[in-house]
Structure 1
Amino acid sequence: MSPRVWLITGASSGFGRALAEAALAAGDTVAAAVRKPDSVADLVAAYPERAWPVQLDVTDDARVPAAVAEVLDRHGRIDVLVNNAGFGLVGAAEETTAAELRDLMHLHLFGPAELTRAVLPGMRERGTGAIVQLSSQGGRLSFGGISAYSATKFALEGWSEALAAEVKPFGIDVLIVEPGAFRTGFNKPGVLKFSEIGEVYREALEPVRSGLTGADGGQPGDPVRAAEAILTALAAEETPLRLPLGSDAVENISAALESARTELLKWEQVSRGADFPAGE
């Protein structure tokens, strides 16, 4: 595979950083989209010819076309777009504010959609390309306390599944990545955000809050191995639509799918009974 040009959001840490390092190690070029260019100064210093920062806040829709244009002006193409920037939000559905939900949806769906729209014309013209959407196991299943986070990831996955069908004829792959618990900065205090919890939901949600923050540093997933898995999926003859990462993600998603199938079959006759009778 010839050297590729990557545009990676949230490239200063976590999966974005691990992917940037893996791509650079493979001989590719990386445009590291970050809010603060200094956050990737060491990466640029290590690969001065193939790594450079692009200042971008993913929620700044007006800035997206210019950021993409900078990459195209410098390299002539974008082969892989990685929509990675994001954070977690813990809170009860009733108590999460409309502003909190809108802001998270902008970061996890509207921003990635804007970037995807900006890079697709060039990919279609060349007849090749890949869009990597960093979702989560929380994009396939949910539990109390992460309603807003799961809502945004479910939305990203639905949008991306339709996108994949639309762009496949143009030689463009869409890869939805669904990590479990990994040793990134996701669970760190100050990174993981919390809605205000009132007395009604405190007993139910405090264990969720403490469990997520308490897991920091002990997660089973290795971001370096995750990046290797993503590169392997992109290099495959047929890139998968979805790639769960980590044993916990595989187990939890498998259980959720089995539960959904069991419920579907249990209510199958009632569901089918909503049709007009045959012949009418």
Structure 2
Amino acid sequence: MTDKKIWFITGAGRGLGVDIAKAALAAGHAVVATGRDPAKVAAAIGPHADLLSVKLDVTRLDEAQAAVEAAIAKFGRIDVLVNNAGNFYAGFFEELSPEQVRNQIETLLFGPMNVTRAVLPMMRKQRSGLLLTISSTAGIAGGMFCTAYAAAKFGVEGWMESLAPELAPFGIRTMLVEPGFFRTELLTAGSTTFAEPNIDDYAERTRETVAAWSSMSGKQGGDPAKLADAIVRLAALEEPPARFAAGADAVQTFEAKANALLAQAGAHRGLSTSLAHDDRGQQ
């Protein structure tokens, strides 16, 4: 028996995906690293006997199926799927175009669904596997300028939480990772698209927000290499956590949301609990 697992990672050409691939390889696992340009993926990670780079645009189900087939042809199985590929459409809702909102959800929600749909038949056959999806604290608590991004990440949270009991009988586990601010490439021009300002009422806050976020790029507090190591360690557990708050700021977000929900549940408790049918009056 061996602890060596086959990892399948999307968005592995830059940012956190590269760090996860390197951490998995360093831990003795084999990695199928995917991206739109497999040559760039291979160059970013570096040569390794247990590395296979494959082309994959997660918004294309046919490419997801082809990438999974290539992984199985090379390694015979897939043990850990990491849905990591992502981008960011930032801006006030009224200034984000319908196409931008759809593109955001296409990449962040339907993309992971495509890849998971391609991987699940293999995992069900082997009666084991881990579906690990990189979400965000924006999937726990929404925020200004994040309407499209949070909508997609909230969708990921509900999808994965609902998927977990469907797959548990087959020995397949799920795990959501909610990073706070990490020094990845998410806020760079290659990953972030800001809405085009066109409404005067939002102009001042748009300028302030874009300037603040742009100045933060490359200075975020979280270390993606440490997060990657933590992910590899958690994935090795017999029962990985359903959710992992990644970073001290993520822990604060979890706690604040939990407290807010408790307060909201109790704020109108009398009214909330008075809405049942009075069946006694119908007898």
TM-score by length of 1: 0.95
Q: Deviations over 1:50-75 (max 9, x none)?
A: 11210111112222211111111111
Q: Shift of the alpha carbon at 1:274? A: 2.1
1:211 aligns to what? 212
1:101 aligns to what? 101
1:174 aligns to what? 174
Runs in 1 of length 4+ with deviation above 2 angstroms?
Answer: 40-46, 203-208, 277-280
Q: Deviations over 1:50-106 (max 9, x none)?
A: 112101111122222111111111111111111100011211112211111111111
Q: Is the 8 A contact 1:7 1:81 kept in 2?
A: yes
Q: Is the 8 A contact 1:175 1:242 kept in 2?
A: yes
Q: Shift of the alpha carbon at 1:278? A: 5.8
Q: Deviations over 1:2-60 (max 9, x none)?
A: 2111110010112111110000001111111111112123356531x211210111112
Gaps of 5+ in 1: none
> Identity of paired residues, percent?
38
1:220 aligns to what? 221
Distance 2:271 2:23 in 1: 50
Distance 1:73 1:190 in 2: 32
2:17 aligns to what? 16
TM-score by length of 2: 0.94
The number of aligned residues is 279
Aligned to 1:94, the other structure's residue is in SS state helix
Q: Is the 8 A contact 1:85 1:108 kept in 2?
A: yes
2:195 aligns to what? 195
Distance 1:85 1:206 in 2: 28
Distance 1:270 1:213 in 2: 45
Gaps of 5+ in 2: none
Q: Which amino acid in structure 1 is aligned with residue 111 of structure 2?
A: G
Distance 1:56 1:178 in 2: 23
Q: Is the 8 A contact 1:138 1:149 kept in 2?
A: yes
> What is the root-mean-square deviation in Å for CA atoms of aligned residues?
1.5
2:87 aligns to what? 87
Q: Deviations over 1:242-274 (max 9, x none)?
A: 111010111122112211211111122222222
2:257 aligns to what? 256
Aligned to 1:78, the other structure's residue is in SS state coil
Distance 1:206 1:43 in 2: 34
Q: Is the 8 A contact 2:18 2:44 kept in 1?
A: no
